[in-house]
Structures are given as structure tokens and as C-alpha cells.
């Protein structure tokens, strides 16, 4: 299992080692101990989600209030998506920056996002299926979004006319979310993750 930190501090791409033969394959897609060593604290697994999307669907950019936030470990178990990590933490040196990671059923990479980051994806295939585990259960009053097509954010989605949910269509721009005080504070995010304890 290889870990590569993204340009967004605290976010990692995880590439598993796949063991295959004519019968099929085996791999460890998640290791509590190895991830803890890399990120500096354990990932509490509180909820597991499965998302199935048609080609050209864009979901996100979603984030949660910190504390407690919602760290995510995201994998694609069928098809392919272009997964995006967005730094929405006010005061972060990477604020407003985003990075794509291709997740698919071939390389079987995963992405780890700590609390305070925004997450979204574009389905590159029909029936693109994401599996992700979260550090906290869903809290409708603490969950928010930034419009995925906000030109100031400038995410370069690989589709001309993405399909969005009504909720994502109505999400504020990054500037609107910032002005309203909706976005997480970078220092508060660091303090919260520090409170989670080391390995």
C-alpha cells in the first residue's frame, strides 16, 4: 500500500498492492494502522456509504462543519470517477485549491480526506460506484456544499454539461460561502484533528 500526499495538505491518494492469479485477485483496500501512521491519528469509522452514478453526473462539492467534521476514505468499486478534493479551510495555504484523482476498478486507488475539505466527483462511466467510509454519521444541519460549477473555483470537470442534483444546483459559490461564514476554519480543523490523538 502506497500513500501519496496531494497538493491539498492532509489529503492522500492510497494505492493498494493487488495480488492476482487466474482465479481473481486479493488486496487490502484499507489498513487502519498504515493510514494512522501517515495521517497521525486513527480514522474513526462511523458510517459507510455507497453511491451509484450515471456517466457525466457530478456530485459535490460537499463538506461538514468542524467540529466534528467528516473525514472520508473513498474508493471506486465499479467503473470510474474523477474524484476531486477541494481545500475549503479558511486560512489554509491551499485555500481554494483543488486536485483530481482518478478512482477506478483497475488501479483501485482510494482517497483520504480529513475534516474540513470539500469532496466531489464526476462519473466517467455508467454505474460508477463509490464506496466510502466516514468518521461521523450524516448530520443534515451540519452538511453543506459549494457550487461545483463556480467559475471562481474553476474545477475543470471533464464533461460539457454535467448532471447535478437540485441541492448542488442551489449551493452557494465559494465567495458566498466565505462571506456567510459557512466555511471551516483551518486552525480549528488542525486543532480538532490534533485532539483525535496520535497512533
Which one of 30, 112, 132, 186 is the catalytic residue? 132
Q: Which residue has the cell 500500500?
A: 1
Question: Is the omega angle on the peptide bond into residue 67 within 30 degrees of 0, that is, cis?
Answer: yes
| Mean of pLDDT values over 133-150 | 96
**19 catalytic residue (yes or no):** no
Percent of the chain surpassing pLDDT 90 = 96
CATH, residue 181: 2.60.120.10
Which domain, by its residues, includes 75? Answer: 2-194
- The pLDDT confidence band at residue 197, using thresholds 50, 70 and 90, is confident
- Has residue 199 been placed in a domain? no
Could you report the per-residue pLDDT of 86-139, keeping only the tens digit for each?
Answer: 999 999 999 999 999 999 999 999 999 999 999 999 999 999 999 999 999 999
- Has residue 8 been placed in a domain? yes
**144 catalytic residue (yes or no):** no
Q: Which pLDDT score is estimated for 154?
A: 97
Which one of 62, 119, 144, 147 is the catalytic residue? 62
CA 88 from centre of chain? 12
Determine phi and psi for 58, rounding to 5 degrees: -115, 130
- Has residue 180 been placed in a domain? yes
Is 50's pLDDT higher than 80? yes
User: What's the domain count of the chain?
Assistant: 1
Amino acid at each position: 500500500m502506497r500513500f501519496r500526499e496531494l497538493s491539498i495538505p492532509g489529503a492522500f491518494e492510497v494505492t493498494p498492492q493487488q495480488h492476482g492469479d487466474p482465479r481473481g485477485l486479493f488486496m487490502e483496500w484499507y489498513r487502519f494502522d498504515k493510514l494512522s501512521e501517515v495521517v497521525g491519528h486513527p480514522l474513526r469509522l462511523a458510517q459507510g456509504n455507497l453511491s451509484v452514478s450515471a456517466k457525466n453526473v457530478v456530485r459535490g462539492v460537499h463538506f461538514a462543519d468542524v467540529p466534528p467534521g467528516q473525514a472520508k476514505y473513498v474508493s471506486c468499486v465499479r467503473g470510474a470517477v474523477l474524484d476531486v478534493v477541494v481545500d475549503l479551510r479558511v486560512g489554509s495555504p491551499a485555500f481554494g485549491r483543488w486536485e483530481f484523482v482518478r478512482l477506478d476498478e483497475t488501479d483501485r486507488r482510494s482517497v483520504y480526506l480529513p475534516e474540513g475539505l470539500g469532496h466531489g466527483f464526476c462519473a466517467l462511466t455508467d454505474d460508477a460506484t463509490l464506496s466510502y467510509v466516514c468518521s461521523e454519521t450524516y448530520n443534515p444541519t451540519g452538511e453543506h456544499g459549494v457550487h461545483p460549477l463556480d467559475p471562481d473555483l474553476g474545477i475543470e470537470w471533464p464533461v460539457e454539461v454535467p448532471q447535478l442534483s437540485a441541492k448542488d444546483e442551489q449551493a452557494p459559490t465559494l465567495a458566498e460561502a466565505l462571506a456567510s461564514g459557512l466555511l471551516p476554519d483551518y486552525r480549528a480543523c488542525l486543532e480538532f484533528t490534533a485532539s483525535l490523538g496520535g497512533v
